[in-house]
Amino acid sequence: MDSELAIAYERLVGRVKDVVLSNAPLGWEEVVLTERFLYRVSEEVVMAKSVSGEVVNFSISHECDLDEIFDELRAMMYERGKGAWFTVEFRLSRSGRFSIDYDFDNEPEWAAPVVPESYVEDLERFPREPENIPAWLQEKLDAVESSRREHRRWELRGGG
């Protein structure tokens, strides 16, 4: 990562940290923010663990533009041919220590189903070489292609 990119990365990570700190509930010891992303689709889950060990979910204010920050971070981290990450886990402790894990390969664990076309759009935006397309993603892409072929056949037969 060149120095200009590294500075931009640190700035974005700093913004995530600031957003989490400004939205964390009272008495928290650790916050875990999980963000799942595709092009034009995102979902976040934020949990705080208290000093007593209680875990609570909480929301980040939409005014904080967290999706925008992660969208920019995802585009910045895109690796030509390898693709972009699907899930990021940001952990922040009260001491200020944090860690970030990016998952480029595993299927996101969405709370609600995501239409397969969203994966096609994501791959168009962040292309991957065939060897970097996980089997689960290839299955979704194949299902969309099969559906599109079926729709074209239906149109050619005069339906629609």
Which residue from 18, 133, 129 is spatially nearest to 65, judged by alpha carbons?
18
Question: Partners of 128 in the beta sheet?
Answer: 81
User: What pLDDT score was predicted for residue 105?
Assistant: 97
CATH code reported for the domain at 3-156? 3.30.500.20
For residues 23-29, average pLDDT: 93
pLDDT greater than 80 at residue 158? no
Whole-number percent of the chain with pLDDT over 70: 91
Instruction: Identify the weakest region by mean pLDDT among 32-36, 42-46, 116-120, 153-157.
Output: 153-157
Tokens of 88: 């990021």
- The pTM for the full model equals 0.88
28-38 and 98-103 strand pairing: unpaired
Tokens of 68: 């925008």
Number of C-beta neighbours around residue 26 at 10 A: 6
pLDDT greater than 80 at residue 160? no
User: What pLDDT score was predicted for residue 44?
Assistant: 94
For residues 50-76, average pLDDT: 92
Count of H-run helices and E-run strands, the chain = 4, 5
Which residue from 54, 61, 53 is spatially nearest to 24, judged by alpha carbons?
61
pLDDT-derived band at 153, boundaries 50, 70, 90? low
For residues 68-93, average pLDDT: 96
Buried b (16+ CB within 10 A) or exposed e, 96-134: eebeeeeebeebbeeeeebebebbbebbeebebeeeebe
Residue 19 to residues 6, 37, 46, 60, 129: CA-CA distances in angstroms? 20, 18, 12, 8, 35
| Segment 115-152, tens digit of pLDDT | 999 999 999 999 999 999 999 999 999 999 886 666 56
Extents of the domains making up the chain = 3-156
Give the start-end residues of each E strand in 3-150: 28-38, 41-50, 55-57, 87-93, 98-103
pLDDT-derived band at 154, boundaries 50, 70, 90? low
